[in-house]
Structure 1
């Protein structure tokens, strides 16, 4: 995240005064400002686009461009990694326009925004696996995409949403696998087994479900449960075919 507003606030400490968005964006007619905002969006100048769209939204909240400005803000906030602002705009837009023709797109953007909250720039740069980090944004994203597929099966975004659900399901399964491994290392054998069985039940067609069998087998061996050991070894053999 670029922390645009934070950077601007810090810059203010170095000078005598600080201009707000209202001061930065010229006070020009809304039609002209809207055209400028669209130009910034097309050019991928997300910071400027956000400034212009926020100015339009605050100066003309009930103007002829109000709905489209909010839709554009949702997209610009997402592209500018201002996810909290984007989600707040989505909630406001949905509350005011529950039957809007672009409701499927808004729901799709909510899913993308929640999904992006699970992303960490440093993790990507250094290729760090953080399967154990809080998956709450992932659960929200999965619910958003699931709702989109169910409510708008013919939407242009439904197919991509379904594909993203597969990725999110794997992410959630890896989190549970990391939890099962944590229990195993803490010698909480029953807790490890229960979590493994939950993975196999909830996410049966994932790599994590197969890998959970190894953790389950180790826990059963520690408990000396011969029948359970034999069943688990058979499942591992079947999944290797």
Structure 2
């Protein structure tokens, strides 16, 4: 059974409708909605228009055209081409997240394509170009390294391998720089244990970076402050053995000497073990301008 409220509402609507009809001029014809029919633009035309805009430096316009291919003809051969070019034009326009999304979609849909390595490279570079200075969170740096590592593993013969390896070195140097910044902060606050943990990560994880020499000297400094002299001596000895001309070694040597000590390596120390088989890698890394 319908409630009285519902009935009243129904009657009111009916009355309203009757009133509207009674006021209508019988010679007036109600307007009939006619949906506008937009003809689909052929995929090849969209593709060529996108190419033309890309060549004219209109990355945003090109991206739009390539995106329309995916909407109008997702299964056409031009859709695959449009997707990889969409990743490229977004990259050119510094729309890093859009470039990453398009690259991931292309790889997921076309894992065996000859262009998959290029899509992986675009993704990695999009992360790489967002690497912040060493004082900030390094999530994008880690994602860049992971993307480059995947490129090296999945496409070891691609033309992007050499550049990917160089970019990994730079990104790892940035991660080491972040650890050094935190370690120095702890050192200044006399939180020597916290400082040791950060510098230890640098010498065990980032030995090929430009920060490893200072990290060894800072370990000497922190362990001296803690009174753990054997580790301080080992850090200085390892520093002198691997980087004899380093100014950081001179500082470590003077610091030990001020305490009546000299560099002496304890082979059982984690510091000594970390450098077993170590060979210095000379690179042109300049980092991102932050120490």
TM-score, normalised by the number of residues in structure 1: 0.78
Deviations 1:129-185 (A, max 9, x none): x31211111111112212222222211111111111111121111111112112222
Q: Distance in 2 between matches of 1:79 and 1:155?
A: 21
Match of 1:101 in 2: 114
Return the match for 2:146 from 135, 143, 147: 143
Q: Distance in 2 between matches of 1:93 and 1:196?
A: 40
Return the match for 1:34 from 47, 51, 54: 47
Q: Distance in 1 between matches of 2:232 and 2:165?
A: 36
Bigger-Rg structure (1/2): 2
Q: Distance in 2 between matches of 1:193 and 1:44?
A: 51
Q: Which runs of 4+ in 1 moved over 6 A?
A: none
Secondary structure in structure 2 of the residue aligned to 1:134: coil
Match of 2:80 in 1: 67
Please state how far the C-alpha of 1:87 moved relative to its aligned partner. Answer: 1.4
Deviations 1:85-142 (A, max 9, x none): 12122222222222222211111111111111225xxxxxxxxxx3121111111111
1:202 and 2:205 matched: yes
Please state how far the C-alpha of 1:60 moved relative to its aligned partner. Answer: 2.4
Return the match for 2:59 from 39, 46, 49: 46
**Structural RMSD (CA):** 2.0
Unmatched segments (≥5 aa) in structure 1:
1-25, 120-129
Normalized per residue, the structure richer in helix is 1
Please state how far the C-alpha of 1:38 moved relative to its aligned partner. Answer: 0.6
Q: Distance in 2 between matches of 1:150 and 1:52?
A: 33
Deviations 1:198-238 (A, max 9, x none): 21111112211111123222212221222222222323433
Q: What is the count of residue pairs matched by the alignment? A: 206
Q: Distance in 2 between matches of 1:145 and 1:97?
A: 19
Match of 2:100 in 1: 87
